C-alpha cells in the first residue's frame, strides 16, 4: 500500500495545453492520463485563462483587473474578473461532466503566493512583492480562495481525491533577490527561505488536501518546499544540477513529479519513447541509490512543464508516452 496520494505507476500533466476547446482538452487528459488526470488550462483563450489571471481569480476579497497588459489589484470587481470566473466555470463544468464516474486522484492547479506576488501589481505601481504587508494579505486571500476552490471541486467529483498543484516558477528568483523592479535598474529585496516556506505553508495548511509545489525553473529550493509541508515537488529533470538536496528530500518522504519530457519538441527529432522516458527516470533513481521498489510509488512521470506551446499531435504523443513509461516502471 503506497503512502502517497496517488497510485503506483502514475503519470500526469503539468496543466496547460494548446488550443481553445476545453471539451477536447479535458477528454484528452482523461483518455491519456487515466491514473492521475488534471484540470486542463488553455491560456490561448486570453486574459483570465493565463496562469496569473486564472490564479488571481481565486483570491478572496482581493479583486484584480488588467491594466496596460498586466494584472493588478483593482478597487472593485469588474469585467476582467467576470471573464476569469466564467472561463473557470466552463472548465469545471467539463471536468465535472467527464469525471462524473472517476474515483481516483485528480489534480487542479494555481500559481503560488510568491509567483503571484512577483507578477501582480499594486494600484500605486510596483509589484506586490515590494510590500510585505501586501504579500501577507495576498497569501491569506489565496489560501482562503483555494480552500473554496478545492471544496467546490470535491463536491463536483465526490468519488475523487483532489490534489492541488502550486505553480511557483518565480520562487527561486524571489529567494535569490533577482526579481527586477519596474524600472529594470534594480531588484526587489530577497525573501529568506523560512519566510518563503511560511507563505507556502499558509496555503498548504488551508486547503486540507495534498499539495504539489511545481517549478520548471533552475535552482528549485528543496528545503523551502520540504518546510512548507507539501506532499511532493514537481520539477524539470534537465535542470537538476546538484542531486543531494533532492535525494535528502526524497529520503524524508517527499514525492517527486519528475518532468522527464521536453515541453517543446526538438526540431527534426522524434519525441522520446516510453522506454526512453522510463530509463531516464530509472537512471536518476539509481544515482540517488534508492530501492527500485520505491520508484513507482514515490515518483509520478510528467512533461517538464506546461504544453501550451506544443502541437496537439506532440501533446498526445507525450502524454501517452508518460503514462506508458510510468506503467513500465511499476511492472519492474
What is the greatest pairwise CA distance in the chain?
58
Does residue 14 lie within any of the structural domains? Answer: no
Question: Residue 175: inside a domain, yes or no?
Answer: yes
Q: Are 56 and 26 in contact (CB under 8 A)?
A: no
Using an 8 Å Cβ cutoff, are 109 and 167 in contact? yes
Please determine, for residue 1, whether its predicted confidence score (pLDDT) is greater than 80.
no
**What is the per-residue pLDDT for 2?**
60
Kindly report, residue by residue over 280-330, the tens digit of the pLDDT: 999 999 999 999 999 999 999 999 999 999 999 999 999 999 999 999 999
CATH number at residue 105: 3.20.20.210
At 227 the three-state DSSP class reads: helix
Structural domain boundaries, residue 241: 22-330
Tell me whether residue 171 is in a domain: yes
Lowest mean pLDDT among 56-60, 69-73, 266-270, 280-284: 266-270
Domain assignment present for 32? yes
Residue 54: the pLDDT is 97
Residue 288, SS3 per DSSP? coil
Going by their DSSP bridges, the two strands 105-111 and 161-167 should be labelled as: parallel
Of the pLDDT bands very low, low, confident and very high (cuts 50, 70, 90), residue 182 is confident
Which carries the bigger pLDDT value, residue 224 or residue 125? 224
End-to-end alpha-carbon separation of the chain, Å?
A: 16
Identify whether 122 is part of a domain.
yes
Judge whether 264 lies within some domain: yes
Determine, yes or no, domain membership for 2.
no
Mean pLDDT (the chain, rounded): 95
pLDDT number for residue 160: 96
Separation between Cα atoms, residue 25 and residue 49, nearest integer Å: 14
Give 95-151 pLDDT, tens digit per residue.
Answer: 999 999 999 999 999 999 999 999 999 998 899 999 999 999 999 999 999 999 999
What CA–CA distance (Å, rounded) separates 168 from 117? 11
* 61 or 331, higher pLDDT: 61
Q: Is the confidence at residue 332, as pLDDT, over 80?
A: no
Span 31-67, pLDDT tens digits? 999 999 999 999 999 999 999 999 999 999 999 999 9
What does the alpha-carbon distance between residue 177 and residue 285 come to, in Å, rounded to a whole number?
Answer: 32
When divided into structural domains, the chain yields a total of: 1
Q: Is residue 99 part of a domain?
A: yes
What whole-number distance in Å separates Cα of residue 313 and Cα of residue 17?
A: 11
- Provide the angle, in degrees to the nearest 10, between the axes of the packed helices 312-330 and 274-287: 50
pLDDT at res. 7: 95
Amino acid at each position: 500500500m503506497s503512502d502517497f496520494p496517488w497510485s503506483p505507476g502514475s503519470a500526469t500533466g503539468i496543466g496547460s495545453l494548446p488550443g481553445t476547446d476545453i471539451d477536447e482538452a479535458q477528454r484528452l487528459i482523461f483518455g491519456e492520463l487515466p491514473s492521475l488526470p488534471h484540470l486542463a488550462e488553455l491560456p490561448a483563450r486570453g486574459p483570465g485563462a493565463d496562469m496569473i489571471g486564472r490564479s488571481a481569480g481565486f483570491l478572496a476579497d482581493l479583486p484584480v483587473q488588467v491594466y496596460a497588459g498586466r494584472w493588478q489589484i483593482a478597487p472593485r470587481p469588474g469585467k476582467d474578473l467576470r471573464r476569469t470566473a466564467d472561463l473557470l466555470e466552463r472548465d469545471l463544468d467539463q471536468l465535472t461532466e467527464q469525471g462524473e464516474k472517476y474515483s481516483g486522484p485528480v489534480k487542479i492547479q494555481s500559481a503560488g503566493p510568491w509567483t503571484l506576488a512577483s507578477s501582480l501589481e499594486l494600484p500605486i505601481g510596483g509589484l506586490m512583492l515590494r510590500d510585505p504587508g501586501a504579500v501577507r494579505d495576498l497569501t491569506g486571500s489565496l489560501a482562503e480562495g483555494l480552500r473554496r476552490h478545492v471544496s467546490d471541486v470535491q463536491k463536483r467529483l465526490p468519488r475523487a481525491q483532489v490534489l492541488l498543484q502550486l505553480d511557483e516558477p518565480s520562487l527561486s528568483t524571489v529567494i535569490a533577490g533577482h526579481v527586477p523592479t519596474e524600472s529594470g535598474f534594480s531588484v526587489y529585496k530577497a525573501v529568506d527561505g523560512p519566510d518563503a516556506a511560511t507563505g507556502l505553508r499558509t496555503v498548504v495548511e488551508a486547503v486540507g488536501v495534498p499539495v504539489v509545489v511545481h517549478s520548471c525553473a533552475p535552482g528549485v529550493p528543496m528545503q523551502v518546499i520540504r518546510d512548507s509541508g507539501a506532499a511532493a515537488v514537481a520539477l524539470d529533470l534537465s535542470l537538476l544540477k546538484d542531486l543531494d538536496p533532492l535525494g535528502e528530500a526524497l529520503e524524508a518522504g517527499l514525492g517527486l513529479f519528475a518532468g522527464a519530457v521536453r515541453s517543446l519538441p526538438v526540431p527534426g527529432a522524434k519525441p522520446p519513447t516510453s522506454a526512453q522516458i522510463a530509463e531516464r527516470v530509472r537512471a536518476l533513481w539509481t544515482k540517488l541509490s534508492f530501492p527500485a521498489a520505491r520508484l513507482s510509488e514515490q515518483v509520478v512521470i510528467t512533461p517538464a512543464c506546461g504544453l501550451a506551446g506544443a502541437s496537439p499531435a506532440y501533446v498526445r504523443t507525450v502524454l501517452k508516452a508518460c503514462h506508458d513509461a510510468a506503467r513500465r516502471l511499476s511492472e519492474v
